[in-house]
């Protein structure tokens, strides 16, 4: 029976990429060795057995925490029901969700009528149901030293790239070379931390390349 280490589960509105504005259930998995300096979920990086807690303890926490709990697919669905969640779109993120085999979880959700999206750095093989929407946010030259995989880029339905300066556009251009000419995922640029310079750069390049702008809408309106 598949078990997943979970940092948090909550219901909100998707604020980024193609599903911006869609009511969603977020499952944030624990563990990530990529080491992005600007990461806003660094509390999900480490899987420390000493920080495992019960589901009820983790779900009751009101602030970001390194605590995590373990659940099976069946237990997660029971949690959805217990919380009274209404959204029919599920976003699996992290951490790095592709450290896990997501086939059992995504297959079960899709069978039950949910649409499913995963958000990954592209540094792990993607094991998920064929109908999962895959958002790759390629993490290039990060401190963890893990390369972006061609197989991950080729599985992407959308590519969402954080940018702050020109070198980030150059890095994206390099990993886009991993795509065959027939692959045409949606490409979004997302300004890091809503910085003015980053936003201006993203807008300029989106217009030049006919790409799309992704703003972290949830941060502008003050929700998780």
Judge whether residue 120 has pLDDT over 90: yes
Topology adopted by domain 3-161 = TIM Barrel (3.20.20)
Ordered by start, the domain boundaries in the chain are: 3-161
Judge whether residue 1 has pLDDT over 80: no
pLDDT of res. 38 = 78
Average per-residue pLDDT for the chain:
93
| Token pair belonging to 134 | 């895959």
Q: Residue ranges for the binding site for S-adenosyl-L-methionine? A: 38-40, 95, 137-139
pLDDT of res. 216 = 67
Q: Residue ranges for the binding site? A: 13-15, 28, 32, 36, 38-41, 93, 95, 137-139
Q: Alpha-carbon distance 21 to 127, whole Å? A: 26
Confidence of residue 220 (pLDDT cuts 50, 70, 90): low
Q: Residue ranges for the binding site for substrate? A: 13-15, 28, 93
φ, ψ (nearest 5 deg) of residue 216: -80, 75
Q: Alpha-carbon distance 97 to 187, whole Å? A: 21
Judge whether residue 223 has pLDDT over 60: no
Considering the entire predicted model, what is its pTM? 0.94
Q: Residue ranges for the binding site for [4Fe-4S] cluster? A: 32, 36, 39
Judge whether residue 9 has pLDDT over 80: yes
Contact 33, 144 (CB under 8 A): yes
User: 3-class DSSP state for residue 193?
Assistant: helix
DSSP state of 48: -
Q: Residue ranges for the binding site for Mg(2+)? A: 41
φ, ψ (nearest 5 deg) of residue 30: -90, 140
User: Higher model confidence: residue 40 or residue 41?
Assistant: 41
pLDDT of res. 143 = 83
| Token pair belonging to 183 | 């692959």
pLDDT in tens, 77-111: 999 999 999 999 999 999 999 999 999 999 999 99
pLDDT of res. 196 = 87
pLDDT in tens, 121-162: 999 999 999 999 999 999 988 888 899 999 999 999 999 999
pLDDT in tens, 177-213: 999 989 999 999 999 877 788 899 999 999 999 999 9
CA distances from 206 to 38, 140, 187, 209 (A): 22, 20, 9, 5
């Amino acid at each position: 029976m598949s078990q997943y280490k979970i940092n948090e589960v909550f219901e909100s509105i998707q604020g980024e990429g193609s599903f911006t504005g869609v009511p969603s259930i977020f499952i944030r998995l624990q563990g990530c060795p990529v080491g992005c300096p600007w990461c806003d979920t660094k509390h999900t990086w480490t899987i420390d057995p000493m920080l495992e807690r019960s589901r009820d303890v983790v779900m009751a926490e009101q602030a970001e925490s390194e605590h995590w709990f373990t659940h099976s697919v069946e237990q997660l669905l029971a949690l959805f029901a217990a919380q009274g969640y209404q959204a029919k779109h599920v976003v699996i993120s992290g951490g790095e969700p592709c450290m896990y085999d997501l086939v059992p979880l995504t297959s079960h959700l899709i069978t039950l009528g949910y649409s499913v999206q995963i958000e990954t750095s592209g540094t792990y093989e993607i094991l998920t149901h064929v109908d999962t929407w895959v958002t790759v946010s390629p993490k290039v030259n990060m401190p963890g030293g893990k390369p972006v995989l061609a197989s991950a880029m080729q599985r992407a339905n959308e590519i969402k790239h954080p940018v702050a300066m020109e070198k980030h556009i150059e890095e994206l251009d390099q990993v886009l070379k991993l795509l065959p000419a027939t692959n045409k995922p949606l490409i979004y640029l997302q300004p890091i931390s809503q910085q003015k310079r980053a936003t201006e750069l993203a807008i300029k390049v989106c217009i030049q390349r006919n790409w799309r702008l992704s703003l972290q809408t949830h941060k502008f309106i003050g929700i998780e």
